[in-house]
Amino acid sequence: MQYDVIVIGGGTSGLMAAISAAEFGARTLLIEKGNKLGSKLMISGGGRCNVTNRLPEDEIIRNIPGNGKFLYSAFSIFNNEDIIAYFENMGIALKEEDHGRMFPVTNSAKSVVDTLINHLKENSVDIKLGSPVKAIDYGEDLHTVYTENGHAFKTRSVVVAVGGKSVPHTGSTGDGYPWAKKAGHTITELYPTEVALTSSEDFIKNKQLQGLSLRHVALSVLNKRNKKIVTHQMDMIFTHFGISGPAVLRCSQFVVKELRKRSSITMELDLLPDIHQDALYREIIDKMETHPRKSIKNMMKEIIDVPERFLVFILEKYGVDESTKVNNIGKDFIHTLVQQMKQFTFDVDGSLSIEKAFVTGGGIKTKEIVPSTMESKITERLFFCGEILDIHGYTGGYNITAALVTGRLAGMNAAWYK
C-alpha cells in the first residue's frame, strides 16, 4: 500500500506530525516500534503532562539553550500560544502554573495521550504498533520504509520522529541517527542534558548530606577561572552519588560541556540568594551581641532559613560544636560561616548516562534542516522533528513545545507533497 506521508515514531512530535499530515489531507501511516503511543508524554510533568509553557516567545527561546534560535521561523507559523489553542480545540482544557507551565485541567497525561490517539483515528491515520523500522530507502519519487517484521511501505514523504537516546524505556534508543546519516546528514556529538550530576567529594561518598533537599537556592557552574558560566535559582537535592533536582538539571548541560575540557568542575551554592553577604554578617553579629549565651546552632536557626542538617554539617566541617555559645565564637568564624552559606563550593566530575538523562543533547545538525518546514536540505521529502534534532531545552514544557512545533511543521509540510 502506498501513502502520502509515513511518520516513524509515536512520541510527542510523531503524534503531532501524523495528525497534522492527515489534517492537511495526506493519506498517513504512523509506525511505532513499541506497543503504545505517547510513552514519554505519559511520564512528562510527573505524569501530569506539561504540554507547553506560556512565557513570551523570546523567553521560551532562551529556555531552549540548545539551538533554540533555530525555532524562530517555526514559531512564526506555529508557537506556544497556538499549541494551547490547538489542544483546547481538541477538548483538552489547560491551566497555567508557576513559571508559565501549562498542564491539563485533568492533571492526567493519559487524558492528553488518549485525546491525541482519538484525533489520529478521527483523521483516518493508519497505525502500526509493534513495528520497528529496519531501514529507509530514499527514492527519486517515492521513499520505502522497511519494518523488521517484513513489511515494505511506499510513501511520498517520510517524517522521522523517533527521539534521541534518553529515557530508552519509552522507545528512544537512537534508531533514527543511521537513517539520517544515510540521507547525508551530520549527527553532532550526543550527550546527556537535564541530567543528575556525580561527585567524588568526601561528604558525598560519606553520604553526610544524602537526601537533603534545599529550596530556592542559587546554583552556579564555575569556569576554570572561577567565573560563573550560568546560575539557576531553583530547588536541588543531595543524593548518594552527587546532586539532582531542578537547579542541577538546568546546570547539567553546561557541566557536561565543560567536562570535555577538564576532569572536574567547581559548582557554587548560595543557600540564601535573597540576602546579601554583608547584610547577613551584620545581622549575625548584632544577634550575637544581644544573645551571647545562645548556642550558635539555635541562634543561626532564628536568623536564616537553612536546613538544620546543612548548618550542623558546616559547623562540624570547621570543628565547631553545635552547642557552642556565641560568646565563645570569634568574628573570623562568622565570616567563614556566612561565606559557606553564600558561596559553598564543591566539585562534580560527571553525570549519569545519556540513557538516564531527561533530554538528549546533540542530534541532526540544524543547519541541514529548513527551519520553516523541518524538511531536509539534503534529501527531498524527508522531514525530521522532535528530539532527534540538535535542539534541547530545560524542563518546564520547553522540550515538549519544541517537539510539538517541529512536529506540526513537519507533518503539514510533508502533506504538501501528496
Q: Which residues pair with 228 in a beta bridge?
A: 222
Whether pLDDT at 327 is above 90? no
- Residue 292: the pLDDT is 84
Q: Are residues 248 and 124 in the same domain?
A: no
Q: Are residues 187 and 248 in the same domain?
A: no
Q: Are residues 202 and 305 in the same domain?
A: yes
Helices (H), 259-343: 277-290, 296-303, 308-317, 331-342
In whole angstroms, give the CA distance from residue 345 to residue 203: 12
The phi, psi pair for 340, rounded to 5°, reads -70, -30
> For 222-274, what is the HEC assignment?
ECCCCCEEEEEEEEEEECCCEEECHHHHHHHHHHHHHCCCCCCEEEEEECCCC
Whether pLDDT at 194 is above 80? yes
Q: Of 305, 330, 351, which one is at a domain's C-terminal end?
A: 351
Q: Are residues 119 and 172 in the same domain?
A: yes
Q: Are residues 255 and 386 in the same domain?
A: no
Quick one: pLDDT band at residue 74, thresholds 50, 70, 90? very high
Q: Are residues 251 and 325 in the same domain?
A: yes
C-alpha cell of 116? 491525541
Q: How many domains does the chain have?
A: 2
Whether pLDDT at 1 is above 80? no
Quick one: pLDDT band at residue 249, thresholds 50, 70, 90? very high
Give the residue numbers spanning the domain of 146.
Answer: 2-191+358-415
Whether pLDDT at 78 is above 80? yes
CB 120 within 8 A of CB 18: yes
Q: How do residues 22-45 score in pLDDT, each as one tens digit?
A: 999 999 999 999 999 999 999 988
- Average pLDDT over the chain, rounded to an integer: 95
∠ CA 71-77-78, rounded to 5°:
75
10 Å CB burial of residue 294 (0-12, 13-18, 19+) is middle
Alpha-carbon dihedral of residues 163, 164, 168, 173, nearest 10 degrees? Answer: 90
- Residue 326: the pLDDT is 84
CB 415 within 8 A of CB 26: yes
Quick one: pLDDT band at residue 290, thresholds 50, 70, 90? confident
- Residue 39: the pLDDT is 93
Q: How do residues 349-400 score in pLDDT, each as one tens digit?
A: 999 999 999 999 999 999 999 999 999 999 999 999 999 999 999 988 999 9
Q: Are residues 294 and 236 in the same domain?
A: yes
- Residue 417: the pLDDT is 86
CB 355 within 8 A of CB 168: yes
Determine the straight-line distance between the first and last CA of the chain, rounded to whole angstroms: 15
- Percent of the chain's residues with pLDDT above 90: 88
Q: Are residues 225 and 303 in the same domain?
A: yes
| DSSP-based helix, strand, coil % in the chain, nearest 5 | 40, 25, 35
The CATH number that applies at residue 68 is: 3.50.50.60
State the pairing for strand pair 242-244/350-351.
unpaired
